[in-house]
């Protein structure tokens, strides 16, 4: 039994009913708002643990709601986007949304995003002492030794490659945008740095033995960024 309270801000009745059923079946408390104005009122009066926010609402733009919530609170926000336009997702993430789910979505995907987001936000700011290692399928990372192993064999990474892998692993399950990764790994961001990140990622994938279209460790979020898988 978990006692997390989720606020869903979404105007489509079918999707509301679907999510209410999924979340209640999985022991979450759910409260619902069908427009942005009610959503903000409920957010500030009910203090939810997580917000699911549709970007396309009848009365206001979801982006505006992210701004208003982030001005006062760090409560995790997962955006629902019917839009295939990557720039909306990047804008939402840059404004402080924690992740997104693209419609149409399935039960497993929705629950996985919510779990990863709650876990990531719990760990934030607690330092790495709480996590000494990371494992995913046959991959293992020992953070103190800065060592990555696959099937027991050490993978030789450059410092930069290791920093990218560690950053993604520390946020496993969460998408990190190109800009976020670049800023954290290189400390700056310029026009050419996405290319540099992509070159490093190609080398990491090669060393991990991953082939295009069969990525199982680090997932491509096309036009947005990368996500360490979380199973
Ligand atoms: Ca909508």
Q: pLDDT tens digits for the chain (231 residues)?
A: 568 999 999 999 999 999 999 999 999 999 999 999 999 999 999 999 999 999 999 999 999 999 999 999 999 999 998 767 788 899 999 999 999 999 999 999 999 999 999 988 876 655 444 678 999 999 999 999 999 999 999 999 999 999 999 999 999 999 999 999 999 999 876 767 899 999 999 999 999 999 888 999 999 998 899 999 988
Cα dist. 33→7, 52, 161, 172 in Å? 8, 10, 43, 30
Residues 21 and 95 both lie in one domain? yes
* Helical (H) or strand (E) element with 29: strand 29-33
Say yes or no: 115 and 163 in one domain.
no
Q: How far does the centroid of ligand 1 lie from the alpha carbon of residue 74, in Å?
A: 24
Using CA atoms, how far apart are residues 101 and 105, in angstroms rounded to an integer? 7
What is the model's pLDDT at position 123? 67
pLDDT on residue 129? 47
How far does the centroid of ligand 1 lie from the alpha carbon of residue 53, in Å?
Answer: 9
Say if residue 49 is in the same domain as residue 158: no
How far is it, in rounded angstroms, from Cα 231 to Cα 223? 23
How many domains in the chain?
Answer: 2
Range of the domain at 181: 128-228
Q: Dihedral sign for Cα 13, 17, 23, 28, please.
A: positive
- Ligand 1 ion local residues (Cβ < 5 A): 11, 54, 56
134/202 same-domain check: yes
In this structure, the answer to whether residues 29 and 41 fall within a common structural domain is yes
Ligand 1: centre distance to CA 64 (Å): 14
- For Cα atoms 84, 14, 35, give the angle at the middle one, nearest 5 degrees: 75
For the beta carbon of residue 95, count every other beta carbon within 10 angstroms: 16
pLDDT at position 83: 64
Tell me, what CATH number does 202's domain have?
1.10.10.10
Do 102 and 160 belong together in one domain?
no
Per-residue model confidence (pLDDT) at position 128? 45
CA of 39 to the centre of ligand 1 (A): 13
Could you say which DSSP state residue 131 is in? -
């Amino acid at each position: 039994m978990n006692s997390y309270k989720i606020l869903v801000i979404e105007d489509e009745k079918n999707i509301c009913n679907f999510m209410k059923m999924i979340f209640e079946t999985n022991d979450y408390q759910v409260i619902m708002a069908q427009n942005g104005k009610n959503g903000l009122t409920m957010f500030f009066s009910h203090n939810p643990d997580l917000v699911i926010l549709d970007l396309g609402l009848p009365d206001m733009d979801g982006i505006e709601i992210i701004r208003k919530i982030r001005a006062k609170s760090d409560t995790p926000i997962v955006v629902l986007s019917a839009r295939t336009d990557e720039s909306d997702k990047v804008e939402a993430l840059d404004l402080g949304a924690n992740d997104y789910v693209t419609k149409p979505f399935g039960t497993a995907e929705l629950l996985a995003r919510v779990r990863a987001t709650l876990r990531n936000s719990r760990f934030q700011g607690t330092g790495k002492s709480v996590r000494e290692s990371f494992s995913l399928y046959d991959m293992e990372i020992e953070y103190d030794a800065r060592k990555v192993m696959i099937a027991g064999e050490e993978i030789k990474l450059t410092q930069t490659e290791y920093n990218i892998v560690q950053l993604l692993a520390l946020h496993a399950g969460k998408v990190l945008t190109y800009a976020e990764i670049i800023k954290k790994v290189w400390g700056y961001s310029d026009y050419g740095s996405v290319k540099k990140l992509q070159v490093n990622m190609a080398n990491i994938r090669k060393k991990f033995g991953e082939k295009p279209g069969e990525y199982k460790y680090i997932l491509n979020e096309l036009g947005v960024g990368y996500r360490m898988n979380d199973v």
